[in-house]
Amino acid sequence: MTSVTSQARTAAGTLRARLGAGGIVCVAALAVIFVAVFWPTVLAPGDPLAIHPTEAFLSPRVGHVFGTDESGRDIYTRVVHGAAASAGVGLAATAIGVGVGVVLGFAAGLGPDRLDAALGRIIEVLFALPTLVMALLLVAIIGPGVTASVVAIGAATAPGYARVLRARVRAVVRSDYVRFAHLEATPPWRVFTRHIVPNSLAPLASIAAVGVAQAIVWVSALSFLGLGAVPPSPEWGAMLNAGRVYIASAWWMTVFPGLAIVVTALVLTVLGRRLSDGGVR
């Protein structure tokens, strides 16, 4: 029991050292974002869609710390409840991208040379296209909407994950421990599950964290362009789109949703970079 406790403390100390003071602050901020995504009423018990015309365009003050919009809706409540529509959608898009990327990456990395060559060329061509441009093309084909933006961002980011995983899989397959496993007559399925999968997927954790940050920005961009969530949805990009008309007279309608996007993307990017710099063993 003492040994287990000591190992846990050592692991915690290693994680703290890897993250640093800035990383710990980001972890705390990520915890707040997590609560906002799954339990927004804990932070903002009000209704994000409730309108109060007599309180329209109130600047930040006590009772409305982020001010109100053109319909008297509380901006703070909308920003908190919008976390699920923005960060949650970004997470879903990343999950789709990683899932498709894993399938393509393993197929290219473990398949025959002809399959690897074919998939490799397709992945490289798709990866060369700017993600947002590819997402806009897919939204134009599928049609606008939240579901379409999730699928579009997920499909647009998949080539990047597939490219990284393909290279990692091929390196792992050529590693000494995989060769020794084959020499010991270890069943192929066991080599795959015990050696190839863990050592190939581990680096994707930090990459996916940064990918979620990018997906949140891209999903918000699609909503800002009117191709994702639309007003009065409390989605950060849609709120930016609605507030841009009043940016000269009611700056808080765009500043606070914009800060939510920036802070969330920054937190996830910093954590992803810190974990990546620490390496995977």
Whether 189 is covered by a domain: the verdict is yes
**Whether the Cβ atoms of residue 273 and residue 35 lie closer than 8 Å to each other:** no
- pLDDT at residue 20 in the model: 66
pLDDT in tens, 175-215: 888 888 877 878 888 888 888 888 888 778 778 888 898 89
pLDDT along the chain (281 residues), means of 10: 55 57 83 92 92 93 93 95 88 92 89 84 83 85 85 90 89 84 80 85 82 89 86 89 91 95 91 66 34
Rounded to two decimals, what is the model's pTM?
0.82
Whether 205 is covered by a domain: the verdict is yes
CATH number for 193: 1.10.3720.10
**Whether the Cβ atoms of residue 225 and residue 238 lie closer than 8 Å to each other:** no
For residue 172, which of 204, 195, 188 has the smallest C-alpha distance? 195
- pLDDT at residue 18 in the model: 58
Number of domains in the chain: 1
**Whether the Cβ atoms of residue 135 and residue 152 lie closer than 8 Å to each other:** yes
Whether 261 is covered by a domain: the verdict is yes
The 8-class DSSP code of residue 205 comes to H
For residue 261, which of 205, 207, 221, 230 has the smallest C-alpha distance? 221
Could you list the residue range(s) of the whole structural domain that residue 96 is in?
A: 42-278
- pLDDT at residue 41 in the model: 93
Whether 21 is covered by a domain: the verdict is no
- pLDDT at residue 7 in the model: 53
- pLDDT at residue 278 in the model: 53
Whether 22 is covered by a domain: the verdict is no
